[in-house]
Chain A
């Protein structure tokens, strides 16, 4: 290792050379034309020669100009280059920001920025405006439909985030979510994976970052792009740069506020003809709407009270309220020529369409930097976040308020019937918790206090060599309290052991992430050749603890304290992972049109044994800009940019903590149906050898990828395109391999299997109209990838990612990632349904493939219309394909609540139950007319019910293809002439919305953007999901 680094150091040193002495010295300062701040690192070149230099930290330069030379060329990424005639020995130049170019500066590594044009790999940047146009609280939700190559999908419910899958799945059971890096320090984004059968939804923790603090967000996709970020970046990296003042910027106070209303975006279409009952007869205690026709008869409700048997068309709708999201942000920023600062405070309150949900966030962000002397710069950036929320229950459990509420019998007055007695004891006809009682009494709240940020030092040895040290932390504490009131019917927070007796859960967890990076960067030009080289070291230490206690059996009703319970079950766990990494990143170019970038990183991971802990991985990227090599191509203006890029890279990864040994763990007992036994039992501790065996032979997991792509610009860049084709393969995947239990152990962590992805991504920008005051700009992006599980461990055909016996989501060797399996309807050899003598279908006893959760492709289209100071942005989100098992759809249909179940009259004229339906198929073997075509007519209830269309999981499958107006925003900047009459420097106002329109042609009744397991690898199951929402609001931004 040492030798490898030495070689790198020597190589870099060899690139050092002395400047040649020249005759005339010209000195000067380069500043930003807009605010007068000085610009360091500006390239200053004597035109027509190979002589050049760069400005120093305070924007000053000195250059030897040979006699006869007349012009100096000043260029700086993000600014329009200027050619200035030399006159005298002093030359002060101010450069103008190139609006087109600005977005083309890309942060690509630890603190390094590069010109997008020279990159040999894909990187997508999203500006602050694009990110915050719909004012979402969770930044992961703001990424939907904006990134070519990334599939972003929300998981439904209150305050949840989005799953972001960049260029396919890279691993089996580990996380496939990208690494989020804020100002060079990785921040934790755990959470967001919902529990199948208990608890409230949880937010993925990137929700602690205030989108209003973000200046720029860059997505690094391929292995060649992310290699420097080490193992955590194997699934892509999202780099967030926070807002900072620029040197020389005037002091500024900025205030912005936004308010939006939140509504349920789609409600099922209900029938309002038939009410509560079964088999055509009224029953007060069933969930189904298979009762008699509602004609205002008098019936007894489940409490024995006489009520009018009539439709309550809005009984479900009225359960949902209008929520809101209010955000306020205030910032102070400014700079002298040496120091900058920005102090910002933001607060936000968001509620949901179900009462009992509220999230509050307070962010305080401070950053500052100062140039201590000409060489040393010190900076810091810290954010403190306080995030509290209260939430109702979710998932496939009786305490979820919408567990059965979506199919509330059409004749049941949900809102008008009492849900509890005077003592607070709930009352409901069903076996589940009354939705209103659950909302009121099953409580969950959490509080997160979090600090993340860094201190950084930069030392400029001279104008081409600097060293930077950055140490940062991400620390947060989570306090969770769950309360299940006495008489609860669902497991709620404390699990099924609390049913009836109530329970309290207290959880306290901490996460501490310390990260340090040290880099030395040299940047130099030798005539036509330019070299940027970085050598670096990263050390991180990640430590998390989780202490919890579950109390069962409440004593005093309503007293939500752990002391108020009779049985305590404690839990404690911790995990520590450390990593030391060394890396090098060298980019060399020739005349800026051909670039070669070599990267290498060697990690040492604590999660592997000494022998296996070294993980080395390289990357190569190259780009060739045809239009720079042959500038004459550009002359006509029809072709502006033709760039080709290619890269190959690899990223290595360690194992989960503590998987190299087998441990004895606290014992427990249980089966699939009951809660089981928790130790200590009767004063006895119990230990058992863990059913998951450790393995000290685990070696690193590697993801390898190649990519070829092109970037094009035509007609003065009115048409631009960026395309990439890639192939990714992960080998030696580290996973928990299931074993035959008879071996004495259930699974072992080992390297097994491989996974590959082929993908294509593109973005196409068009400016159809560009006249004096009006601009129409359209940018579309397209994502298509397919991840195939090539092989699992020998002897392991299947790994189940989540779900039930049927349905479940699986990895199957040779098949696409995320296959949904479940029971099907039985068919004969000709594919005809096999039907019982009663004319009803049969379910297979085993499970078969029902579909795949992955869409064929996704597309986002942003249209921007600008007229003077008025602009309109509309983001369209299009998704083709992708299957989902929907419990909600099945529920509203099979229980007789949905419109289609009443499309044919359920009763004959004589009042008997009609039999208007018939399944096409043949009678099954064993029935009297086996093999004969079915002629048995059945009732609506049979046809649409559990023994008909929904007899097997197959009936629950729907295609999720959608078209939606994901975001829209109208913004208006008050003209300076008007603004100047106010105390404010600038005034912006806007209207915005999210999910304004949604059309899913093959997904009835609900919004398909759901996942019962939240942000996890298992996608494609929806169980009693809480509704998706639509928001509409306005915002104001004032600066002083």
Chain B
């Protein structure tokens, strides 16, 4: 009996010794073999540029185009969410995904690129900073005050404070200046090439020219936004920038845009929306009527026809999606009635540059004549929309003259910019908030008595960062530059 007990005890001890010494090693397996602990710069940038391109054609693009009545929410019967948006009911919950994309995906990876580039690869950090400035500019124009200085610190600060939107705007210009300096650096261990889906080029020496042009043009856009809140600043900065010899977008080839592919799961988001949410969006009557009036040749690629005509839905009209023009080839890509989804998402175009310059010229900021830029803008837009040269000439002959008061001329500039910016995220709404053009009719079923001036903060921020942000009373709360009475 004792012998047996002894044996067992020995056996048990042997087992336990064996187990406990090899135990830790046996259990040290908690590293995911299918993912990596460190992401390389080139692949991070690919993710960032694709996400920016997709973001600029998604929710916020749809909301601004619905508010601006370039699109109209429709359905074939039971109410679609786009019809709810049309009533100016864009709720906090609707913006949760947007914030996740902006902060947790795009800005997070941009910050990672900046951190990983260090001083070794300024070409990467430079591009990342320019992109960061662009994304934050869009974000501020939609929301106003936002987390910026404390954002993206991950678990170090899970509840970042909200910075004054005006302060963020000044930081954006600094970011662009740094970005320009860094992309111009003589040496960089790594440089973006074709892995950037925006301005892809085998040679960074070539693409950096594009990045600089874009950064400068974005600065022009940012300065323009001050036109109401600080007109002197807008004029002075615009003038100074133009006179500095800075390069700007010089042709449609310089457009800040991202191309998509005719391939499932790689199509552009506007086309994807049309495929997976057919009848959610149709052309808006505001835009279509304006273009019908001027017999705009861009309608052929902007819209589909219904019964041989272009017909937009009045925002808030009853469900009858089949009776209205849909989004056309210009935004979806393809030819005839076959859509490829390969059209680019346009984020800042040469056309817009010209309209910015036209308005600046009108305001005496920078050299040049408003009329020239105005026509150049229309021409750039029409060329991009596949309009024949002869038709452009005809259109310009009929509609290309700026006349009347400064305000009348501004109205024409913004109207043409509104048409040219079809599919561009937020900027048409920003122009309306600054200038009031084009005049909008508030839908009969709207839940507000005026056109919204900013978006609600995401419900997720209210829920999980409540100490730093409270929800807006309504969508009439304004961004700092929005001071138009």
Binding site for B on A (CB under 8 A): 1-2, 5-6, 9, 13, 16, 18, 278, 286-288, 431, 461-462, 465, 467, 491, 496-501, 503, 518, 520, 535, 537, 539, 552-553, 566-567, 569, 572-574, 576, 578-580, 582, 604-610, 613, 657-658, 660-667, 669-679, 681-682, 684-691, 693, 695, 738-746, 748, 795-798, 805, 845-846, 946
B5 at the interface (CB under 8 A from A): yes
Contact B50 A677 (CB under 8 A): yes
User: Which B residues are in CB contact (< 8 Å) with A665?
Assistant: 35
Which residue, B55, B100, B265, has most C-beta atoms of chain A within 10 A?
Answer: B265
Given A608, A610, A679, A744, which contacts B24 in the complex, CB threshold below 8 Å?
A: A610
Given A462, A552, A578, A745, which contacts B104 in the complex, CB threshold below 8 Å?
A: A745
Within 8 A of A (CB), among B1-53: 1, 4-5, 8-9, 12-13, 15-17, 19-20, 23-24, 26-40, 43-44, 46-47, 50-51, 53
By secondary structure, the B interface counts as helix
User: Which A residues are in CB contact (< 8 Å) with B104?
Assistant: 691, 741, 743-746
A662 to B16, CA, bound (A): 34
Q: Which of B146-154, B230-238, B407-415 contacts A (4 or more CB under 8 A)?
A: B146-154
Contact B1 A18 (CB under 8 A): yes
Contact B266 A742 (CB under 8 A): no
Taking the nearest CB of chain B, how far is it from the CB of A758, in angstroms? 29
Which residue, B55, B158, B461, B467, has most C-beta atoms of chain A within 10 A?
Answer: B158
Contact A607 B79 (CB under 8 A): no
User: Which B residues are in CB contact (< 8 Å) with A500?
Assistant: 275
Q: Which residue of A lies closest to B107 (CB)?
A: A744
27 contacts between A and B (CB under 8 A): A288-B77, A462-B4, A465-B4, A467-B8, A496-B276, A499-B275, A518-B15, A566-B263, A665-B35, A669-B54, A671-B98, A673-B273, A673-B277, A675-B265, A677-B50, A677-B265, A677-B266, A686-B47, A687-B36, A691-B105, A740-B159, A741-B99, A743-B159, A744-B103, A744-B108, A745-B104, A796-B464
User: Which A residues are in CB contact (< 8 Å) with B109?
Assistant: 688-689
User: Which A residues are in CB contact (< 8 Å) with B62?
Assistant: 673
Which residue, A9, A672, A688, has most C-beta atoms of chain B within 10 A?
Answer: A688
B244 at the interface (CB under 8 A from A): no
User: Which A residues are in CB contact (< 8 Å) with B79?
Assistant: 946
Which residue, B47, B93, B109, B157, has most C-beta atoms of chain A within 10 A?
Answer: B47
User: Which A residues are in CB contact (< 8 Å) with B58?
Assistant: 671, 673-674
How large, as a class, is the contact surface on chain B? 35 or more
Assuming the contacts A673-B59, A745-B108, asked whether A606 and B461 have C-beta atoms less than 8 A apart, the reply is no
0/1 string, B106-143, CB within 8 A of A gives 1 = 01110110000000000000000000000000000000
Contact A671 B47 (CB under 8 A): no
User: Which A residues are in CB contact (< 8 Å) with B147?
Assistant: 740, 742
Contact B4 A461 (CB under 8 A): yes
Taking the nearest CB of chain B, how far is it from the CB of A715, in angstroms? 47
B443 at the interface (CB under 8 A from A): no
Taking the nearest CB of chain B, how far is it from the CB of A941, in angstroms? 12
Given B15, B26, B39, B275, which contacts A687 in the complex, CB threshold below 8 Å?
A: B39
Contact B272 A675 (CB under 8 A): yes
Q: How many A-B residue pairs have CB under 8 A?
A: 289
User: Which B residues are in CB contact (< 8 Å) with A499?
Assistant: 275-276
User: Which A residues are in CB contact (< 8 Å) with B35?
Assistant: 658, 663-666, 690
A605 to B44, CA, bound (A): 33
Contact B275 A686 (CB under 8 A): no
Q: Which residue of A lies closest to B92 (CB)?
A: A846
User: Which B residues are in CB contact (< 8 Å) with A748?
Assistant: 155, 158
Contact B47 A667 (CB under 8 A): yes
Assuming the contacts A691-B100, A742-B151, asked whether A674 and B277 have C-beta atoms less than 8 A apart, the reply is yes
B97 at the interface (CB under 8 A from A): yes
User: Which A residues are in CB contact (< 8 Å) with B107?
Assistant: 744
A537 to B157, CA, bound (A): 43
Assuming the contacts A461-B8, A537-B19, asked whether A740 and B30 have C-beta atoms less than 8 A apart, the reply is no
Taking the nearest CB of chain B, how far is it from the CB of A287, in angstroms? 8
Contact A739 B103 (CB under 8 A): no
Given B158, B264, B465, which contacts A497 in the complex, CB threshold below 8 Å?
A: B264
User: Which B residues are in CB contact (< 8 Å) with A537?
Assistant: 15-16, 19
Q: Which residue of A lies closest to B279 (CB)?
A: A431
Across the A-B interface, give the 5 residue pairs with the lowest CB-CB distance, nearest first.
Answer: A552-B264, A667-B47, A664-B39, A740-B465, A744-B152
Assuming the contacts A566-B263, A684-B46, asked whether A745 and B39 have C-beta atoms less than 8 A apart, the reply is no
A746 to B17, CA, bound (A): 43
Contact A664 B36 (CB under 8 A): yes
Taking the nearest CB of chain A, how far is it from the CB of B133, in angstroms? 17
User: Which B residues are in CB contact (< 8 Å) with A681?
Assistant: 46, 50, 197, 261, 266
Taking the nearest CB of chain A, how far is it from the CB of B48, in angstroms? 8
Q: Which residue of B lies closest to A796 (CB)?
A: B464
Q: Which residue of A lies closest to B99 (CB)?
A: A741
A115 to B380, CA, bound (A): 89
